[in-house]
């Protein structure tokens, strides 16, 4: 029978794992300390180890690093940051399982039980890392990043503005073998096309008017390290061709120069746009997309992982307190409820700014519901007397458009009409008590048009009659 070792000082965790693993047909041995684990390891070998990071007499990470476990190890931890996930993988963990965990995931892991080659010692990351979250989407993101960080593979990072695409790129660089070499970021959308080529490839003296000296470009500056091209979807077509050549041949040529220069870089790219749609429109090269999209990484918007908002808000509030050299106020549960009900069109960047605002401007020791409403600009807290119809429509449309994310935004006018016309038609029919002639007059439409709309939206005019 295949043996599995569980090392965790939490009796509840051991009970759950034991139950699931025995159902799967494994022989289970339990240990609640590092000493008991060492005693268990002296016997017959194990096919898999579930190991808690924090034990009364030791640290699971250190034990994993020491090589005391010959079997594949699944690290169990309450920590939910990318730093922790990356470190687990780099020390050779087969998998990283955050608490509370999914039972089905435990079953899946137990069925794999394949050794994993150890990888190099991790470099330390800064304490201000805000790539955190307990949501399944973020945990999947951590796993992907942990596995690709040490490689030189090109990564395409997608996500809405404010989700932290550059932060992910920085973390990938710091966890890579190039960590001691340059990390060079450039926002391709922020530089006019005619200047972007010079920024990327550099130029020789006299290459154009004003070029009074030679200048190295970002490719050469990043040599040996990582080049991060943000908003790659806005790169002009002429430069897309040149970027493709760099990726294929590893050489660049300065503007006005004849010499080809070898560059050794890892390329990370990011965009908030739908590149497949831009390919269909003929404004982005398909061959370049496939060169960039070797490892696709998508950062979910904050509205799709609202369970992470409490952890993120508290972390950012503490960070704001450190930044302002003050003790930050505490977040009340009612305040967190309001934060979670907001859609965060600016994502983590917006949340970070709101937490800074609350840390500085909250008058009391605790952040109340009204404090959060004020910091958010009273979104979703307008009274009908204060808000005009135009303001209400604008507010709702902003949410509607932000929810589209990477979805196809073509025919938006048609989509909006399909959302707006039915409730308007029903309200008018209600006011006119189902009289189609009066409803047509109120809407300023032809009666036949109103009849057609009623059929289109499956609205029964008889329902509104007295």
Question: Do 94 and 200 share a domain, yes or no?
Answer: no
User: Does some domain include residue 264?
Assistant: yes
Tens-digit pLDDT profile for residues 224-282: 999 999 999 999 988 999 999 999 999 998 888 888 899 999 999 999 999 999 999 89
End residue of a domain, out of 298, 325, 348 = 298
**Interacting residues of 21 by C-beta distance below 8 A, sequence separation 6+:** 4, 6, 28, 106, 110
Residue 374 has a pLDDT of: 85
Residue 229 belongs to domain with CATH number: 3.40.50.300
Q: What's the Cα-to-Cα distance from 184 to each of 34, 123, 228, 272, rounded to whole Å?
A: 43, 19, 6, 20
Q: Which residue has the higher pLDDT, 390 or 11?
A: 11
User: Does some domain include residue 431?
Assistant: yes
What tokens appear for 72 in the block? 């594949």
Binning pLDDT at 50, 70 and 90, where does residue 36 land?
A: very high
Question: Do 216 and 290 share a domain, yes or no?
Answer: yes
Q: Are 228 and 270 in contact (CB under 8 A)?
A: yes
Q: Are 438 and 465 in contact (CB under 8 A)?
A: no
Tens-digit pLDDT profile for residues 6-30: 999 888 788 788 878 887 888 899 9
Q: What's the Cα-to-Cα distance from 71 to each of 50, 68, 96, 118, rounded to whole Å?
A: 10, 9, 15, 12
What is the mean predicted confidence (pLDDT) over 324-350? 89
Q: Choose from 55-69, 287-301, 411-425 the range with maximum mean pLDDT.
A: 287-301
Binning pLDDT at 50, 70 and 90, where does residue 344 land?
A: very high
Question: Do 155 and 292 share a domain, yes or no?
Answer: yes
Q: In angstroms, rounded to a whole number, what is the distance separating the alpha carbons of residues 380 and 342?
A: 8
The DSSP line for 228-283 is EEETGGG--HHHHHHHHHHHHH-EEE-BT---EEE---EEEEEESS-HHHHHHTTS
User: Does some domain include residue 399?
Assistant: no
Residue 98 has a pLDDT of: 80
Question: Do 320 and 358 share a domain, yes or no?
Answer: yes
Question: Do 323 and 436 share a domain, yes or no?
Answer: no
- What pairing do the DSSP bridges indicate for beta strands 54-55 and 58-59? antiparallel
End residue of a domain, out of 70, 95, 127 = 127
Q: In angstroms, rounded to a whole number, what is the distance separating the alpha carbons of residues 443 and 438?
A: 9
Q: In angstroms, rounded to a whole number, what is the distance separating the alpha carbons of residues 193 and 211?
A: 17
Residue 93 belongs to domain with CATH number: 3.40.50.2300
- What pairing do the DSSP bridges indicate for beta strands 155-158 and 266-271? parallel
Backbone dihedral angles phi then psi of residue 391, each to the nearest 5 degrees:
-65, -45
Q: Which domain holds residue 426?
A: 411-464
Question: Do 331 and 423 share a domain, yes or no?
Answer: no
What is the mean predicted confidence (pLDDT) over 106-116? 66
Residue 326 belongs to domain with CATH number: 1.10.8.60
What is the mean predicted confidence (pLDDT) over 430-453? 90
Question: Do 52 and 166 share a domain, yes or no?
Answer: no
What is the mean predicted confidence (pLDDT) over 342-364? 89
Backbone dihedral angles phi then psi of residue 109, each to the nearest 5 degrees:
-65, -40
Residue 130 has a pLDDT of: 58
Number of domains in the chain: 4
Binning pLDDT at 50, 70 and 90, where does residue 96 land?
A: confident
Taking the CA atoms of residue 36, residue 41, residue 45 and residue 49 in that order, the dihedral angle to the nearest 10 degrees is 60
Residue 391 has a pLDDT of: 61
Residue 322 has a pLDDT of: 86
Query: For residue 232, which of 265, 198, 264, 279 has the smallest C-alpha distance?
Result: 279
Binning pLDDT at 50, 70 and 90, where does residue 378 land?
A: low
Question: Do 72 and 98 share a domain, yes or no?
Answer: yes
Binning pLDDT at 50, 70 and 90, where does residue 402 land?
A: low
Query: Percentage of the chain with pLDDT > 70?
Result: 88
Residue 80 has a pLDDT of: 66
Q: In angstroms, rounded to a whole number, what is the distance separating the alpha carbons of residues 453 and 417?
A: 11
Taking the CA atoms of residue 444, residue 449, residue 450 and residue 454 in that order, the dihedral angle to the nearest 10 degrees is -150
- Is the pLDDT at 83 greater than 90, yes or no? no
User: Does some domain include residue 108?
Assistant: yes
Question: Do 123 and 50 share a domain, yes or no?
Answer: yes
Burial 76-90 (b: 16+ CB within 10 A, else e): bbebbbbbbbbbbbb
Q: What strands lie across the sheet with 95-98, from one edge to the other?
A: 27-31, 3-7, 48-52, 73-77, 95-98
Residue 135 has a pLDDT of: 83
Tens-digit pLDDT profile for residues 133-159: 878 888 888 888 888 888 899 999 999
Question: Do 184 and 278 share a domain, yes or no?
Answer: yes
State pTM to two decimals: 0.60
Residue 73's region, left for phi above 0, alpha for psi from -120 to 50, else beta, is beta
Mean pLDDT of all residues belonging to the chain? 83
Number of CB atoms found within 10 A of residue 120's CB: 11
- Is the pLDDT at 122 greater than 70, yes or no? no
Question: Do 167 and 270 share a domain, yes or no?
Answer: yes
Question: Do 117 and 210 share a domain, yes or no?
Answer: no
Tens-digit pLDDT profile for residues 152-199: 999 999 999 999 999 999 989 988 889 899 999 999 988 887 788 888
Q: Are 186 and 199 in contact (CB under 8 A)?
A: yes
User: Does some domain include residue 397?
Assistant: no
User: Does some domain include residue 249?
Assistant: yes
Q: Are 453 and 443 in contact (CB under 8 A)?
A: no
End residue of a domain, out of 248, 265, 298 = 298
Number of CB atoms found within 10 A of residue 29's CB: 20
DSSP helix/strand/coil, 444: coil
Q: Are 154 and 297 in contact (CB under 8 A)?
A: no
- Is the pLDDT at 404 greater than 60, yes or no? no
- Is the pLDDT at 321 greater than 90, yes or no? no
**Interacting residues of 345 by C-beta distance below 8 A, sequence separation 6+:** 398, 399, 402
Is it true that the peptide bond before 100 is cis, omega within 30 degrees of 0? Answer: yes
Tens-digit pLDDT profile for residues 292-304: 999 999 999 999 9
- Is the pLDDT at 462 greater than 50, yes or no? yes
């Amino acid at each position: 029978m295949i043996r599995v070792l569980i090392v965790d000082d939490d009796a509840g965790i051991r009970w759950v794992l034991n139950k699931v693993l025995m159902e799967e047909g494994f022989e289970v041995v339990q240990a609640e300390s590092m000493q008991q684990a060492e005693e268990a390891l002296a016997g017959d070998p194990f096919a898999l180890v579930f190991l808690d990071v924090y034990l009364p007499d030791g640290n699971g990470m250190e034990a994993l690093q020491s090589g005391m476990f010959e079997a594949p190890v699944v690290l169990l931890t309450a920590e939910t940051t990318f730093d922790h996930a990356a470190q687990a993988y780099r020390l050779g963990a087969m998998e990283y399982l955050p608490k509370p965990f999914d039972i089905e995931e435990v079953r899946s892991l137990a069925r794999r039980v394949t050794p994993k080659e150890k990888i190099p010692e991790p470099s330390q990351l800064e304490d201000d890392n805000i790539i955190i979250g307990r949501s399944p989407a973020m945990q999947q993101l951590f796993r992907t990043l942990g596995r690709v960080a040490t490689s030189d593979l090109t990564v395409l990072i997608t996500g809405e503005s404010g989700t932290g695409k550059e932060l992910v790129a920085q973390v990938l660089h710091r966890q890579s073998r190039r960590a001691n070499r340059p990390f060079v970021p450039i926002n391709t959308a922020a530089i006019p096309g005619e200047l972007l080529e010079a920024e990327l490839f550099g130029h020789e003296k006299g290459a154009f008017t004003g070029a009074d000296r030679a200048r190295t470009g970002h490719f050469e500056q990043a040599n040996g390290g990582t080049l991060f091209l943000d908003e790659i979807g806005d790169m002009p077509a002429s430069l897309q061709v040149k970027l493709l050549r760099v990726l294929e041949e590893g050489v660049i040529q300065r503007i006005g120069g004849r010499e080809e220069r070898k560059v050794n870089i890892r390329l990370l790219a990011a965009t908030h746009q739908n590149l497949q749609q831009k390919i269909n429109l003929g404004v982005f090269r398909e061959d370049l997309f496939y060169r960039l999209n070797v490892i696709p990484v998508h950062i979910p918007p904050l509205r799709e992982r609202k369970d992470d908002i409490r952890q993120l808000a508290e972390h950012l509030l503490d960070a704001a307190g450190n930044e302002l050299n003050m003790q930050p106020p505490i977040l009340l549960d009612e305040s967190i409820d309001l934060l979670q009900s907001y859609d965060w069109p600016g994502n983590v960047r917006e949340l970070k700014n709101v937490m800074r605002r609350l840390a500085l401007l909250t008058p009391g020791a605790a952040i109340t519901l009204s404090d959060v409403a004020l910091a958010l600009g009273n979104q979703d807290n307008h009274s009908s007397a204060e808000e005009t119809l135009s303001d209400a429509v604008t507010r709702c449309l902003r949410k509607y458009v932000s929810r589209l994310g990477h979805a196809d935004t073509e025919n938006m006018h048609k989509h909006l009409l399909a959302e707006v016309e039915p409730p308007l038609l029903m309200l008018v029919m209600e006011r006119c008590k189902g009289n189609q002639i009066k409803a047509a007059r109120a809407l300023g439409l032809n009666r036949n048009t109103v009849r057609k709309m009623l059929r289109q939206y499956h609205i029964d005019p008889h329902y509104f009659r007295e």
